[in-house]
Structures are given as C-alpha cells and as structure tokens.
Amino acid sequence: MKRFMIGAWRWLDDRLGISALVGPSLEHLVPHDARWWYVFGSATLLAFIVQVVTGVGLAFSYTSSSSQAYETLQFITNQAPFGRFLRGMHYFGASAMVLMVGAHMAQTFLFGSYKFPREMNWTTGVLLLAFTLAMGFTGQLLRWDSTATWSVVVAAEQAGRVPVIGNFLAQFILGGTSIGGATLSRFFAIHVFIMPALIFLFIGIHLMLVLRHGIAEPPVAGQVVEPATYRTEYEERMRKTGHPFWPEGAWRDFVVGTGLIVVIALLAYFVGPPKLDAPPDPSNLNADPKPDWYLLWYFALLALIPPQLEGYVMILAPVIIGILLLAAPMLNNRGERAPSRRPWSIAVVLLSVIMIGSLWIEGNNSPWSPNFDPQPLTEKVIGATSGPVFEGARVFQTKGCLNCHLISGDGGRRGPDLSYIGDTLSEGDIVIRIVNGGVNMPAFGSSINPNELTQLTAFLQSRKRPMPAGLEAPQR
C-alpha cells in the first residue's frame, strides 16, 4: 500500500510539477535571525484564507437582495447550524486581517525592509492594505441593517465632495438616486468578486516578489543598503548563514497562524458576530450609523476637524496619505535600515498609533453626538421638589439641554458639563447664552418663553460645587 501511494504521488508530481512549483518556495533561504517579528505577513495571509473559507460558507445562505438580505442574515445568525459561529469567524477574521496587515506594515517600515530592492513589495503591500479596508467597509454594508443602509448614504455623501465627478460617484455608490433595489447587489459584487480577485492577484505578486528579492534580514546599525552592492552582499550572507524556509523559517508562522485561528474561533464562539441593527428601512430615523472599529478613527476625524477644512481633509487626506505610502520607498530606498539610526521611523509609527488610537477612543465615545435617551434628572440631583429650580430642571430636559449637557453625570457630552455652571456664569451671562446661543450652541430666544427662561436660569444658577465641610455660610 505504502509503495503504491509513493508511486502514485511520484506519478502525479511528475505530471503536475508540484514539487517543481512549490519546492523553490519551501527551500528558498531566509535569514537565520528572522524570527518572531516576521510572522505578521503570513498571519495576514492566513486571516485572508479564513475570510475566503467563511465567506464562501456564508454565501451558501446569504441572498444579496435588498428585500431579503436582512432576513437571510437573521436566519444565518439565529437558525442555521453553526451560522452564528461562521458569521463570528468572518467578523473576527476581518478584524485579525486588519490588525495583522497593520502590524506587518509597521514592522516592515521600522526595519527599513521597503528599501532597495524591495520597493515594489512595499507598494503592493500598500495596495493590499487599501483592498483590506475596502473589504472591511463593504462587508459591514452587507449586514444590510439600518446602520448599513445609512452608512451607504454617508459613503455617498463623502464621495459627493469629490470635485467634478462627485455626484456621479455618489449615485454610483447608491446604485441610483436613492437607496433601493440596486444598492446592495453592487456592494455584494464588489465584496465577493472584485476585491477578493484583486487581493488574490496582489498577494500572488507580493509573494512572487518575496521569493525574487528574499526576506530582508533584521536590520543592523551600520549595515547600510547600497543598491550597487546589496544583492551580492545579501546572497553571500544567505549562502553563509541562511536557512531554508521549510522547516526552519516556517514553524513560527505555523505556531502564530494556529494561535490566530484559535483566537478567532474563541472570539466567534464566546463573543459572536456583531448584532444586527433594525431592518434596513430608510424611513426609520432612529439610526446611529457608525463604522466598524477599524474605520471608527476616520469617523471621529470627520467630527473633530474644523468644518471649513473638512471637505479638503475628506478628499485630499486619503489621497495624500496614499501617495506618501506608495512613494515612501522611492523617496528613501538606500542607507541605514536600523530603527536606532532612523529614529524618525519610530516617531512616525508611534505618532500614527497614538493618532489612530486617540481618534478611535473619541469615535467610540462620540462626545459630539447628542444623547437622545438621557436619564431624567432625579430630585436628588435637582436638589428641589418644587419651585423655580425644580421647574427649571424640567425645562432643561424638555428643551433638549440635557441631550447635550451633563448635569452631575447625567445627560449628553456634546456641550460643556453644566454641573457647576452656577459657579462660573452670572444670571445675566446665563440668560444671554440661552437666548442668543453661543459657539456650537443653538439660540433658544424664539423657542423659550420668559417664564421658562426664568426657571431655567434659576436651575442653572443652583448648579454649584458643594461647600467643603466647615465652610458653610453662617446661620443667621
């Protein structure tokens, strides 16, 4: 039997050329000291494979029809055997892919691995990052719930700001002039056919380039990249100290990849897929569309930049960032690779992480959004059960002030915390602010009557810090 199997394999291998095809990939020499820092690329590839496998599985039940997609997702999540798990794997696989591609990029940048002769490795990687984010966004839209449909509108609005062709792009995204039958199917085509095809193509090119140029060694201070001599030096080093990729170089990829799949599966099982929002009814206005976590930082950016710059940032920032990323190796493809000799590279990565992280936190909290469902102020917080202060608190709630301002921890965070406003603004200042409005605050002069104004002012004036013990006003 064993002899038969070996014979059959040899016959197949001879006719199909499997060893001839895969052998050089497995046997190519890699630096002996390329260890745990070098696992992110293969982890990204593995996460993509998870996406393909789970995506194909989901496609067996998913219907890309505007009228039925939501119901099929409910079926997949709540009724189909393993459907919830599969959706969870697909979601956390996407998250893993974004994280791993980010880590791979940061490592490549810090190690200066984008320099000669690997410029195109970097460029194809940047395109793969863009395709990954596009997959993430279109994937969120395929959830086709209320958040998804309104996210399509937001995407169309952003595309609309592109000069000259903005309206055309917006309508291309919507599949017409509004959300409807043609909207979902085009995102399905982009998510399931176009983007995966591009990713397969560019992964192929990326891997081919890795084999062609070899894996960059961990950088050593003083060991500079000089295009005239680099290839000779690299080949010499590989001959002396390199290891075959299989098995010496590959086992760490295998360990990390296995761990990654286990983590994705555990999260899918215990946390599960993102909950479906309300059905995709564009007449339901109680929607609060937010992107998934990997684009939340961009959502926050659009809230925080000055409105007069917003259009330019919306259109030009992605273009400039894209050009800078693509051009990075052309601008600096020789010299030192060690981060210790390129401290600015550490600063770039750190600042990027801090910027994206800070924006992510802000986006998660969304302090600029009104709180549409604030807890009513309690009598304890108000400090009165009748009279102008009590009535003023009622006005504070009915006039929407509580939607935007905090009082003792309750309310919105869009405007300043007014818990102690009585300590800082006089009665006259409060009246002027309510009637005329202020920076980023509506004027209520035409929608509040004098009695309500008096009560509201009394309430706000009563918002003072408690006096420290022993400093209370003397009793008369």
Partner 1 sequence: MAILGIPLVGFVVAPIFRKTTGKWISVGKMTDFEIGKTVTVTVTDPSSLPWAGITAKSALWLRRVSDADFVAFAVNCTHLGCPVRWLQDAELFMCPCHGGVYYSDGTVAAGPPPRPLIRYDVRTVNGQVEVKTMEIPITTTL
**Subset of 252-281 contacting partner 1 (CB under 8 A):** 279-281
Q: Is 183 in the site for partner 1 (CB under 8 A)?
A: yes
- Residue 194 in contact with partner 1, rule: CB under 8 A: no
Question: Site for partner 1 (CB under 8 A): which residue of 17, 24, 204, 437?
Answer: 437
Task: Report yes or no: 261 and 88 within 8 Å, Cβ to Cβ.
Answer: no
Question: Which residues lie closer than 8 Å to 392 by C-beta, 6 or more apart?
Answer: 454, 455, 456, 457, 458, 459, 460, 462
Is residue 335 involved in binding partner 1 (CB under 8 A)? no
Residue 57 CB, nearest approach to partner 1 (Å): 24
Per-residue contact track with partner 1, 43 to 82, x per CB under 8 A? ----------------------xxxx-x------------
Task: Specify whether the backbone of 411 is left (phi greater than 0), alpha (psi in -120 to 50) or beta.
Answer: left
Measure the N-to-C terminal CA separation of the chain; round to a whole number of Å.
108
Would you count residue 154 as binding partner 1 (CB under 8 A)? yes
How many CB atoms are closer than 10 A to CB 124? Answer: 21
Interaction pattern, residues 130-149, with partner 1; x per rule: CB under 8 A: -------------------x
Our CB check for partner 1 shows the closer of 154 and 201 to be 154
Report if residue 177 touches partner 1, rule: CB under 8 A. yes
Left if phi > 0, otherwise alpha if psi is -120 to 50, otherwise beta: which for 145?
Answer: beta
For residue 444, give both structure tokens: 């209520």
By CB under 8 A, the count of residues binding partner 1 is 69
Figure out which of the listed residues 158, 345, 419, 455 binds partner 1, where binding follows CB under 8 A: 158
**The tokens 């706000």 sit on which residue?**
460
CA distance 288 to 275: 14
Among the listed residues 227, 225, 214, 209, the one whose alpha carbon sits nearest the alpha carbon of residue 338: 225
Query: Which one-letter amino acid corresponds to residue 66?
Result: S
46 closest CA partner among 259, 267, 246 = 259
Enumerate residues 398-427 that contact partner 1 by CB under 8 A.
Answer: 398-401, 403, 414
Q: With CB under 8 A as the contact rule, which of the stretches 29-37, 45-53, 74-82, 155-163 interacts with partner 1?
A: 155-163
310 forms part of the interface with partner 1 (CB under 8 A): yes
Residue 371 CB, nearest approach to partner 1 (Å): 10
SS3 335: strand
Q: Which is nearer to partner 1, 373 or 472 (CB)?
A: 373
Task: Supply the DSSP symbol for 154.
Answer: H
- Smallest gap from Cβ 398 to partner 1, in A, equals 4
Contact region with partner 1 (CB under 8 A), list: 72-80, 247-255, 348-356, 394-402: 394-402
For residues 254 and 368, which CB has a smaller minimum distance to partner 1 in the complex? 368
* Residue 180 DSSP symbol: S
Instruction: Pick the binder of partner 1 from 282, 322, 339, 383 (CB under 8 A).
Output: 282
Count of Cβ atoms closer than 10 Å to residue 77 Cβ: 19
**Binder among 352, 369, 454, 462 for partner 1 (CB under 8 A):** 369
Per DSSP, what are the bridge partners of residue 335?
Answer: 225
- Continuous segment of H or E residues that includes residue 29: strand 29-30
- Tokens found for residue 229: 């001599």
Long-range contacts of 345-353 (CB under 8 A, 24+ apart): 345/109, 345/110, 345/112, 346/110, 348/109, 349/106, 349/109, 349/110, 352/106, 353/106
Minimal distance, residue 446 CB to partner 1, in Å:
8
Binding of partner 1 at residue 283 (CB under 8 A)? yes
**Of the residues 87, 90, 118, 186, which one makes contact with partner 1 according to CB under 8 A:** 186
For binding to partner 1 (CB under 8 A), which residues are involved? Answer: 65-68, 70, 149-150, 153-154, 156-158, 160-161, 163, 166-168, 170-172, 174-184, 186, 279-290, 299, 302-303, 307, 310-312, 315, 368-370, 372, 398-401, 403, 414, 437, 440-443, 447
